[in-house]
Amino acid sequence: MLQHFGFWIFSFVVFRETLSQYSRQRMSEDFIRLGDMLYTEEAYDDLRQPSFRSFRKQIFSFWPKDDDGLVIVPYLIDSSVGSTKKEDIRKAMTQWTEKTCIKFVDNREAKEKHYLVFQSREKGCFSFVGRSKLAKGQPVNVGKDRECNLNVIAHEIGHALGLAHEHTRHDRDEHVVVFLDNISVDERDFRKDKDVFSSYGVPYNYKSVMHYHKTIFAKNRTIATILPKMVEFEHTLRSNNPVDHYDALLINLAYKCKDTWANRCRKILECQNYGFFGAECKCVCPLGTSGLRCEKRSVKRLPHYESPRCGGLINGTTMISDADIFSRGRISESALPAVKECIWLVKHRSDRRLQIVFEDFELSEDPECRREFLEIRVNSLYRPDKRACGRQLHGARLQPKGDIVIYYRVYILEKIPDLKIFIRYF
Ligand SMILES: [Zn+2]
Protein backbone atom coordinates (compact mmCIF):
# COMPACT_ATOMS: atom_id res chain seq x y z
CA MET A 1 0.00 0.00 0.00
CA LEU A 2 2.71 2.46 1.01
CA GLN A 3 4.58 1.62 -2.12
CA HIS A 4 1.55 2.57 -4.13
CA PHE A 5 1.18 5.75 -2.14
CA GLY A 6 4.84 6.55 -2.74
CA PHE A 7 4.36 5.95 -6.42
CA TRP A 8 1.39 8.26 -6.50
CA ILE A 9 3.22 11.02 -4.67
CA PHE A 10 6.16 10.58 -7.01
CA SER A 11 3.98 10.87 -10.10
CA PHE A 12 2.31 13.89 -8.65
CA VAL A 13 5.60 15.59 -7.89
CA VAL A 14 6.87 14.90 -11.38
CA PHE A 15 3.69 16.32 -12.83
CA ARG A 16 3.85 19.39 -10.58
CA GLU A 17 7.43 19.89 -11.57
CA THR A 18 6.41 19.84 -15.18
CA LEU A 19 3.76 22.38 -14.54
CA SER A 20 5.88 24.65 -12.40
CA GLN A 21 8.08 24.98 -15.44
CA TYR A 22 5.14 26.76 -16.96
CA SER A 23 5.90 30.01 -15.21
CA ARG A 24 7.14 32.90 -17.25
CA GLN A 25 10.79 32.62 -18.06
CA ARG A 26 13.24 33.47 -20.75
CA MET A 27 14.01 30.31 -22.70
CA SER A 28 16.91 31.56 -24.75
CA GLU A 29 17.82 34.59 -26.78
CA ASP A 30 14.97 33.86 -29.11
CA PHE A 31 11.94 32.69 -27.12
CA ILE A 32 9.99 33.72 -24.10
CA ARG A 33 7.76 31.29 -22.34
CA LEU A 34 4.50 32.12 -20.63
CA GLY A 35 2.83 29.07 -19.18
CA ASP A 36 3.47 26.24 -21.61
CA MET A 37 3.24 28.59 -24.57
CA LEU A 38 6.24 30.02 -26.37
CA TYR A 39 6.51 33.43 -27.96
CA THR A 40 9.15 35.15 -30.02
CA GLU A 41 10.63 38.31 -28.44
CA GLU A 42 8.67 40.33 -30.94
CA ALA A 43 5.38 38.62 -30.16
CA TYR A 44 5.98 38.88 -26.44
CA ASP A 45 6.53 42.63 -26.69
CA ASP A 46 3.23 42.84 -28.52
CA LEU A 47 1.55 40.75 -25.86
CA ARG A 48 2.53 43.37 -23.29
CA GLN A 49 0.81 46.15 -25.21
CA PRO A 50 -2.61 46.78 -23.76
CA SER A 51 -4.18 47.03 -27.17
CA PHE A 52 -2.82 43.72 -28.49
CA ARG A 53 -2.54 45.56 -31.79
CA SER A 54 -0.58 43.09 -33.77
CA PHE A 55 -0.80 40.09 -31.46
CA ARG A 56 -2.58 37.91 -33.95
CA LYS A 57 -0.30 38.89 -36.79
CA GLN A 58 2.79 38.19 -34.79
CA ILE A 59 2.14 34.95 -33.03
CA PHE A 60 -0.77 33.20 -34.53
CA SER A 61 -0.70 31.84 -37.97
CA PHE A 62 -2.47 28.93 -39.57
CA TRP A 63 -0.72 26.05 -41.23
CA PRO A 64 -1.36 26.13 -44.97
CA LYS A 65 -3.41 23.66 -46.99
CA ASP A 66 -2.07 21.62 -49.88
CA ASP A 67 -3.78 21.21 -53.25
CA ASP A 68 -6.03 18.50 -51.81
CA GLY A 69 -7.22 20.85 -49.08
CA LEU A 70 -5.39 19.02 -46.30
CA VAL A 71 -3.67 21.15 -43.67
CA ILE A 72 -0.04 20.12 -43.86
CA VAL A 73 1.94 20.21 -40.61
CA PRO A 74 5.49 19.03 -41.29
CA TYR A 75 7.41 17.64 -38.33
CA LEU A 76 10.65 16.07 -37.24
CA ILE A 77 11.27 14.02 -34.14
CA ASP A 78 14.59 14.99 -32.63
CA SER A 79 17.09 12.33 -31.55
CA SER A 80 16.60 13.43 -27.92
CA VAL A 81 13.16 11.76 -27.89
CA GLY A 82 13.01 8.20 -26.55
CA SER A 83 11.15 5.38 -28.26
CA THR A 84 8.12 5.29 -25.92
CA LYS A 85 7.64 9.00 -26.34
CA LYS A 86 7.95 8.71 -30.12
CA GLU A 87 5.07 6.29 -29.98
CA ASP A 88 3.08 8.72 -27.81
CA ILE A 89 3.76 11.57 -30.26
CA ARG A 90 2.34 9.49 -33.09
CA LYS A 91 -0.71 8.54 -31.04
CA ALA A 92 -1.21 12.17 -30.02
CA MET A 93 -1.06 13.24 -33.67
CA THR A 94 -3.68 10.62 -34.50
CA GLN A 95 -5.98 12.06 -31.84
CA TRP A 96 -6.04 15.22 -33.98
CA THR A 97 -5.92 13.76 -37.48
CA GLU A 98 -8.70 11.20 -37.14
CA LYS A 99 -11.38 13.89 -36.88
CA THR A 100 -9.88 16.86 -38.73
CA CYS A 101 -8.27 17.76 -42.05
CA ILE A 102 -4.85 18.10 -40.39
CA LYS A 103 -2.12 15.92 -41.87
CA PHE A 104 1.27 15.57 -40.22
CA VAL A 105 4.05 14.86 -42.71
CA ASP A 106 7.63 13.84 -42.06
CA ASN A 107 9.78 16.82 -42.94
CA ARG A 108 12.68 14.61 -43.98
CA GLU A 109 10.56 14.11 -47.08
CA ALA A 110 8.49 17.29 -47.16
CA LYS A 111 11.50 19.57 -46.63
CA GLU A 112 9.31 22.58 -45.77
CA LYS A 113 10.74 25.74 -44.27
CA HIS A 114 8.33 25.80 -41.34
CA TYR A 115 7.90 22.64 -39.30
CA LEU A 116 7.56 21.25 -35.78
CA VAL A 117 10.48 19.68 -33.98
CA PHE A 118 9.42 17.33 -31.21
CA GLN A 119 12.22 17.34 -28.69
CA SER A 120 13.06 16.22 -25.15
CA ARG A 121 15.92 18.67 -24.76
CA GLU A 122 14.43 20.62 -21.87
CA LYS A 123 12.33 19.85 -18.84
CA GLY A 124 8.64 20.48 -19.14
CA CYS A 125 6.03 20.45 -21.86
CA PHE A 126 5.61 23.50 -24.08
CA SER A 127 4.96 24.68 -27.59
CA PHE A 128 4.47 27.74 -29.75
CA VAL A 129 0.91 28.74 -30.50
CA GLY A 130 0.20 28.24 -34.21
CA ARG A 131 2.84 28.26 -36.89
CA SER A 132 5.71 30.48 -35.82
CA LYS A 133 8.00 32.39 -38.07
CA LEU A 134 10.98 30.27 -37.15
CA ALA A 135 12.60 28.88 -40.22
CA LYS A 136 14.64 26.22 -38.45
CA GLY A 137 11.69 24.41 -37.02
CA GLN A 138 9.63 25.33 -33.97
CA PRO A 139 10.10 23.23 -30.86
CA VAL A 140 7.37 21.16 -29.27
CA ASN A 141 9.10 20.10 -26.09
CA VAL A 142 7.77 16.80 -24.79
CA GLY A 143 9.82 16.76 -21.59
CA LYS A 144 12.25 14.32 -20.10
CA ASP A 145 11.55 10.84 -18.78
CA ARG A 146 8.02 10.62 -17.45
CA GLU A 147 7.02 14.20 -18.12
CA CYS A 148 4.42 14.98 -20.78
CA ASN A 149 2.31 11.87 -21.24
CA LEU A 150 0.25 11.11 -24.34
CA ASN A 151 -2.60 13.54 -23.66
CA VAL A 152 -0.25 16.31 -22.55
CA ILE A 153 1.55 15.90 -25.88
CA ALA A 154 -1.85 16.14 -27.61
CA HIS A 155 -2.36 19.41 -25.66
CA GLU A 156 0.98 20.80 -26.87
CA ILE A 157 0.13 19.82 -30.44
CA GLY A 158 -3.16 21.68 -29.93
CA HIS A 159 -1.10 24.81 -29.22
CA ALA A 160 1.05 24.19 -32.28
CA LEU A 161 -2.13 23.99 -34.37
CA GLY A 162 -3.15 27.40 -33.00
CA LEU A 163 -5.31 26.64 -29.99
CA ALA A 164 -5.11 28.64 -26.77
CA HIS A 165 -6.24 27.36 -23.38
CA GLU A 166 -9.93 26.68 -22.99
CA HIS A 167 -10.11 28.40 -19.60
CA THR A 168 -8.73 31.65 -21.02
CA ARG A 169 -11.58 31.97 -23.53
CA HIS A 170 -13.15 35.41 -23.52
CA ASP A 171 -16.42 33.92 -22.14
CA ARG A 172 -14.82 31.74 -19.47
CA ASP A 173 -16.31 33.68 -16.54
CA GLU A 174 -19.72 32.38 -17.52
CA HIS A 175 -18.46 28.82 -17.08
CA VAL A 176 -15.67 28.67 -14.52
CA VAL A 177 -14.57 30.41 -11.35
CA VAL A 178 -10.86 31.27 -11.19
CA PHE A 179 -9.24 31.78 -7.78
CA LEU A 180 -6.40 34.20 -8.49
CA ASP A 181 -5.54 34.31 -4.76
CA ASN A 182 -4.42 30.67 -4.92
CA ILE A 183 -2.33 30.91 -8.06
CA SER A 184 1.41 30.51 -7.65
CA VAL A 185 2.38 31.77 -11.10
CA ASP A 186 1.95 34.83 -13.25
CA GLU A 187 -1.70 35.83 -13.49
CA ARG A 188 -1.29 36.04 -17.24
CA ASP A 189 -1.67 32.29 -17.37
CA PHE A 190 -5.28 32.81 -16.40
CA ARG A 191 -5.95 36.05 -18.23
CA LYS A 192 -8.90 35.97 -20.56
CA ASP A 193 -8.34 36.32 -24.27
CA LYS A 194 -9.81 39.29 -25.98
CA ASP A 195 -10.81 38.53 -29.51
CA VAL A 196 -7.45 37.06 -30.33
CA PHE A 197 -8.42 33.43 -30.33
CA SER A 198 -11.93 33.01 -31.52
CA SER A 199 -14.00 30.17 -30.20
CA TYR A 200 -15.98 29.88 -33.46
CA GLY A 201 -19.27 29.33 -31.63
CA VAL A 202 -18.08 26.07 -30.07
CA PRO A 203 -19.54 25.69 -26.56
CA TYR A 204 -17.25 26.00 -23.58
CA ASN A 205 -15.82 22.56 -23.02
CA TYR A 206 -14.93 21.35 -19.51
CA LYS A 207 -13.46 18.20 -21.04
CA SER A 208 -11.25 19.96 -23.57
CA VAL A 209 -7.69 18.72 -24.00
CA MET A 210 -6.84 22.44 -23.79
CA HIS A 211 -8.41 22.91 -20.34
CA TYR A 212 -6.24 23.06 -17.25
CA HIS A 213 -7.15 20.82 -14.36
CA LYS A 214 -8.71 22.20 -11.23
CA THR A 215 -5.65 22.57 -9.00
CA ILE A 216 -3.19 23.77 -11.63
CA PHE A 217 -0.53 26.14 -10.23
CA ALA A 218 -2.14 26.10 -6.81
CA LYS A 219 -0.27 27.68 -3.89
CA ASN A 220 -2.36 25.51 -1.65
CA ARG A 221 -2.71 22.29 -3.58
CA THR A 222 -5.55 21.02 -1.47
CA ILE A 223 -7.91 23.64 -2.87
CA ALA A 224 -8.74 24.56 -6.44
CA THR A 225 -7.51 27.34 -8.67
CA ILE A 226 -10.26 26.83 -11.22
CA LEU A 227 -13.67 25.21 -10.90
CA PRO A 228 -16.76 24.87 -13.07
CA LYS A 229 -19.60 27.20 -12.14
CA MET A 230 -21.89 24.18 -12.33
CA VAL A 231 -20.14 22.70 -9.38
CA GLU A 232 -21.48 19.18 -9.81
CA PHE A 233 -19.26 18.87 -12.90
CA GLU A 234 -16.09 19.52 -10.92
CA HIS A 235 -14.74 16.06 -11.73
CA THR A 236 -14.56 16.89 -15.45
CA LEU A 237 -11.77 19.44 -14.86
CA ARG A 238 -9.18 16.75 -14.52
CA SER A 239 -5.77 16.61 -16.11
CA ASN A 240 -5.23 14.25 -18.90
CA ASN A 241 -8.35 14.55 -20.98
CA PRO A 242 -7.73 13.39 -24.56
CA VAL A 243 -8.76 15.37 -27.66
CA ASP A 244 -12.50 15.66 -27.46
CA HIS A 245 -15.17 16.04 -30.16
CA TYR A 246 -15.42 19.78 -29.45
CA ASP A 247 -11.64 20.24 -29.71
CA ALA A 248 -11.82 18.59 -33.13
CA LEU A 249 -14.83 20.74 -34.01
CA LEU A 250 -12.84 23.88 -33.25
CA ILE A 251 -10.03 22.78 -35.58
CA ASN A 252 -12.60 21.83 -38.23
CA LEU A 253 -14.06 25.34 -38.08
CA ALA A 254 -10.78 27.24 -37.81
CA TYR A 255 -9.24 25.38 -40.74
CA LYS A 256 -12.50 25.12 -42.72
CA CYS A 257 -12.18 21.34 -43.04
CA LYS A 258 -15.69 21.20 -44.42
CA ASP A 259 -14.46 22.92 -47.62
CA THR A 260 -11.80 20.25 -47.92
CA TRP A 261 -14.31 17.39 -47.75
CA ALA A 262 -16.91 19.25 -49.82
CA ASN A 263 -14.56 19.09 -52.79
CA ARG A 264 -14.44 15.32 -52.49
CA CYS A 265 -18.00 14.47 -51.54
CA ARG A 266 -20.97 14.31 -53.83
CA LYS A 267 -23.27 15.76 -51.23
CA ILE A 268 -22.65 18.08 -48.30
CA LEU A 269 -24.72 17.84 -45.12
CA GLU A 270 -25.46 20.63 -42.69
CA CYS A 271 -24.73 18.97 -39.37
CA GLN A 272 -26.60 20.04 -36.24
CA ASN A 273 -25.97 19.99 -32.49
CA TYR A 274 -22.24 20.62 -32.94
CA GLY A 275 -21.73 17.75 -35.32
CA PHE A 276 -19.32 18.41 -38.18
CA PHE A 277 -19.01 17.21 -41.76
CA GLY A 278 -16.17 14.71 -41.90
CA ALA A 279 -13.78 12.98 -44.30
CA GLU A 280 -16.26 10.17 -44.95
CA CYS A 281 -18.81 12.62 -46.35
CA LYS A 282 -20.98 12.11 -43.26
CA CYS A 283 -21.74 14.15 -40.17
CA VAL A 284 -19.52 13.26 -37.21
CA CYS A 285 -21.86 13.58 -34.24
CA PRO A 286 -20.94 14.29 -30.61
CA LEU A 287 -21.91 11.68 -28.05
CA GLY A 288 -25.55 11.90 -27.14
CA THR A 289 -26.65 12.86 -30.64
CA SER A 290 -27.43 10.77 -33.71
CA GLY A 291 -29.12 10.86 -37.09
CA LEU A 292 -27.86 11.79 -40.52
CA ARG A 293 -27.38 15.39 -39.42
CA CYS A 294 -26.93 14.72 -35.67
CA GLU A 295 -30.43 16.08 -35.31
CA LYS A 296 -31.55 13.58 -32.64
CA ARG A 297 -30.51 14.31 -29.10
CA SER A 298 -30.65 11.65 -26.43
CA VAL A 299 -29.16 13.78 -23.66
CA LYS A 300 -30.56 16.81 -21.94
CA ARG A 301 -27.23 18.47 -21.48
CA LEU A 302 -24.49 18.50 -24.03
CA PRO A 303 -22.14 15.60 -23.43
CA HIS A 304 -19.19 17.73 -22.35
CA TYR A 305 -21.16 18.18 -19.15
CA GLU A 306 -20.32 14.63 -18.24
CA SER A 307 -22.44 13.42 -15.37
CA PRO A 308 -20.54 12.54 -12.23
CA ARG A 309 -19.95 8.82 -11.84
CA CYS A 310 -21.17 9.30 -8.33
CA GLY A 311 -22.90 12.29 -6.87
CA GLY A 312 -25.18 14.78 -8.62
CA LEU A 313 -27.96 17.14 -7.75
CA ILE A 314 -30.10 16.56 -4.66
CA ASN A 315 -33.35 18.45 -4.07
CA GLY A 316 -35.48 15.88 -2.26
CA THR A 317 -35.05 13.65 0.77
CA THR A 318 -32.15 11.29 0.02
CA MET A 319 -29.82 8.89 1.79
CA ILE A 320 -26.22 8.93 0.62
CA SER A 321 -24.50 5.71 1.60
CA ASP A 322 -21.18 3.98 1.06
CA ALA A 323 -22.95 1.72 -1.39
CA ASP A 324 -23.53 4.78 -3.61
CA ILE A 325 -19.81 5.39 -3.66
CA PHE A 326 -18.57 1.85 -3.95
CA SER A 327 -20.39 -1.14 -5.15
CA ARG A 328 -19.03 -3.69 -2.70
CA GLY A 329 -19.26 -6.58 -5.09
CA ARG A 330 -17.04 -4.96 -7.66
CA ILE A 331 -14.15 -3.83 -5.49
CA SER A 332 -11.21 -6.15 -5.90
CA GLU A 333 -7.78 -6.10 -4.32
CA SER A 334 -6.23 -5.20 -7.64
CA ALA A 335 -8.39 -2.08 -7.77
CA LEU A 336 -6.52 -0.65 -4.78
CA PRO A 337 -5.30 2.02 -4.35
CA ALA A 338 -7.97 4.14 -5.94
CA VAL A 339 -8.67 7.76 -6.57
CA LYS A 340 -12.33 8.40 -6.57
CA GLU A 341 -14.41 11.51 -6.11
CA CYS A 342 -18.10 12.16 -5.68
CA ILE A 343 -19.80 15.55 -5.65
CA TRP A 344 -23.30 16.24 -4.49
CA LEU A 345 -24.91 19.64 -4.85
CA VAL A 346 -27.62 19.80 -2.21
CA LYS A 347 -30.14 22.47 -3.17
CA HIS A 348 -31.85 24.57 -0.57
CA ARG A 349 -35.60 24.91 -1.10
CA SER A 350 -37.64 27.90 -0.01
CA ASP A 351 -40.68 25.71 0.77
CA ARG A 352 -38.83 23.28 3.05
CA ARG A 353 -36.28 23.16 5.81
CA LEU A 354 -33.14 21.22 5.04
CA GLN A 355 -31.37 18.98 7.51
CA ILE A 356 -28.29 16.86 6.99
CA VAL A 357 -27.56 14.10 9.48
CA PHE A 358 -24.36 12.07 9.46
CA GLU A 359 -25.85 8.86 10.81
CA ASP A 360 -22.74 6.80 10.10
CA PHE A 361 -19.37 8.29 9.45
CA GLU A 362 -16.20 6.26 9.50
CA LEU A 363 -13.49 6.98 6.94
CA SER A 364 -9.76 6.25 7.10
CA GLU A 365 -8.10 7.94 10.05
CA ASP A 366 -5.24 10.28 9.34
CA PRO A 367 -4.31 13.56 11.07
CA GLU A 368 -4.63 15.77 8.00
CA CYS A 369 -7.40 13.82 6.28
CA ARG A 370 -5.28 13.35 3.19
CA ARG A 371 -6.00 9.78 2.24
CA GLU A 372 -9.75 9.95 2.39
CA PHE A 373 -12.02 12.81 3.32
CA LEU A 374 -15.46 14.30 3.09
CA GLU A 375 -15.63 18.01 2.44
CA ILE A 376 -18.58 20.21 3.34
CA ARG A 377 -18.96 23.52 1.56
CA VAL A 378 -21.53 25.71 3.23
CA ASN A 379 -20.38 29.31 2.84
CA SER A 380 -19.07 28.88 -0.69
CA LEU A 381 -19.84 26.17 -3.19
CA TYR A 382 -16.22 26.25 -4.29
CA ARG A 383 -14.17 26.34 -1.10
CA PRO A 384 -14.20 23.80 1.73
CA ASP A 385 -15.43 24.91 5.15
CA LYS A 386 -14.51 21.64 6.70
CA ARG A 387 -12.74 18.45 5.73
CA ALA A 388 -13.40 15.44 7.85
CA CYS A 389 -12.10 11.91 8.09
CA GLY A 390 -11.99 9.15 10.72
CA ARG A 391 -15.15 9.45 12.82
CA GLN A 392 -15.08 13.26 13.00
CA LEU A 393 -18.58 13.81 11.66
CA HIS A 394 -20.24 10.79 13.23
CA GLY A 395 -23.61 11.91 14.58
CA ALA A 396 -23.20 15.53 13.35
CA ARG A 397 -26.20 17.52 12.15
CA LEU A 398 -26.36 20.52 9.85
CA GLN A 399 -29.22 22.84 8.99
CA PRO A 400 -27.93 24.80 5.99
CA LYS A 401 -29.59 28.07 5.01
CA GLY A 402 -28.49 27.82 1.37
CA ASP A 403 -27.17 25.36 -1.19
CA ILE A 404 -24.27 23.24 -0.03
CA VAL A 405 -21.77 20.91 -1.61
CA ILE A 406 -20.76 17.56 -0.18
CA TYR A 407 -17.59 16.27 -1.75
CA TYR A 408 -15.99 12.90 -1.11
CA ARG A 409 -12.49 11.97 -2.18
CA VAL A 410 -10.32 8.94 -1.61
CA TYR A 411 -6.72 8.62 -2.74
CA ILE A 412 -6.02 5.32 -1.12
CA LEU A 413 -8.80 2.95 -0.43
CA GLU A 414 -7.90 0.94 2.64
CA LYS A 415 -11.38 -0.23 3.40
CA ILE A 416 -14.88 0.55 2.26
CA PRO A 417 -15.97 3.63 4.23
CA ASP A 418 -18.89 3.40 6.57
CA LEU A 419 -21.08 6.25 5.47
CA LYS A 420 -24.72 7.07 5.84
CA ILE A 421 -25.76 10.69 5.28
CA PHE A 422 -29.45 11.44 5.60
CA ILE A 423 -30.55 14.52 3.67
CA ARG A 424 -34.00 15.49 4.78
CA TYR A 425 -36.39 18.14 3.49
CA PHE A 426 -39.32 18.77 5.85
ZN1 LIG B 1 -1.02 24.68 -22.64
Neighbours of ion ligand 1 (CB under 5 A): 36
Q: How many CB atoms lie within 10 A of CB 335?
A: 11
Write out pLDDT tens, residues 267-316. Answer: 999 999 999 999 999 999 998 899 999 999 887 776 667 676 788 889 99
CA of 38 to the centre of ligand 1 (A): 10
Higher pLDDT, 28 or 370: 370
CA of 73 to the centre of ligand 1 (A): 19
Write out pLDDT tens, residues 40-76. Answer: 666 665 555 443 333 334 345 789 999 999 999 999 9
CA of 260 to the centre of ligand 1 (A): 28
Tell me if residue 365 is catalytic.
Answer: no
Q: What percent of the chain has pLDDT over 70?
A: 81
Task: Give me the pLDDT at residue 64, please.
Answer: 93
Task: Give me the pLDDT at residue 4, please.
Answer: 36
Hey, what long-range contacts does 154-157 have (CB within 8 A, 24 or more apart)?
A: 154/92, 154/95, 154/96, 154/209, 154/242, 154/243, 155/36, 155/125, 155/209, 155/210, 156/36, 156/125, 156/126, 156/127, 157/92, 157/93, 157/96, 157/116, 157/127
- Tell me how far apart the alpha carbons of residues 249 and 180 are, in angstroms, rounded to a whole number: 30
Q: Is 165 annotated as a binding residue?
A: yes
Task: Give me the pLDDT at residue 11, please.
Answer: 28
Q: How confident is the model at residue 13 (pLDDT cuts 50, 70, 90)?
A: very low
Higher pLDDT, 375 or 195: 375
- Tell me how far apart the alpha carbons of residues 250 and 200 are, in angstroms, rounded to a whole number: 7
Task: Give me the pLDDT at residue 40, please.
Answer: 67
Q: How confident is the model at residue 18 (pLDDT cuts 50, 70, 90)?
A: very low
CA of 208 to the centre of ligand 1 (A): 11
Catalytic residue, from 122, 147, 156, 372: name it.
156
Write out pLDDT tens, residues 369-420. Answer: 988 999 999 999 998 888 999 999 999 999 999 999 999 988 877 778 899 9
Task: Give me the pLDDT at residue 7, please.
Answer: 30
Mean of pLDDT over the chain: 83
CA of 212 to the centre of ligand 1 (A): 8
CA of 35 to the centre of ligand 1 (A): 7
Q: How confident is the model at residue 97 (pLDDT cuts 50, 70, 90)?
A: very high
Task: Give me the pLDDT at residue 279, please.
Answer: 95
Task: Identify the structural domains of the chain with CATH numbers, from first to last.
Answer: 12-163 (3.40.390.10), 311-425 (2.60.120.290)
Q: What is the mean pLDDT of residues 331-354?
A: 77
pLDDT at 116 over 60: yes
pLDDT at 351 over 70: yes
Confidence (pTM):
0.82
Is residue 127 packed enough to be buried (19+ CB in 10 Å), middle (13-18) or exposed (0-12)?
buried
CA of 310 to the centre of ligand 1 (A): 29
CA of 60 to the centre of ligand 1 (A): 15
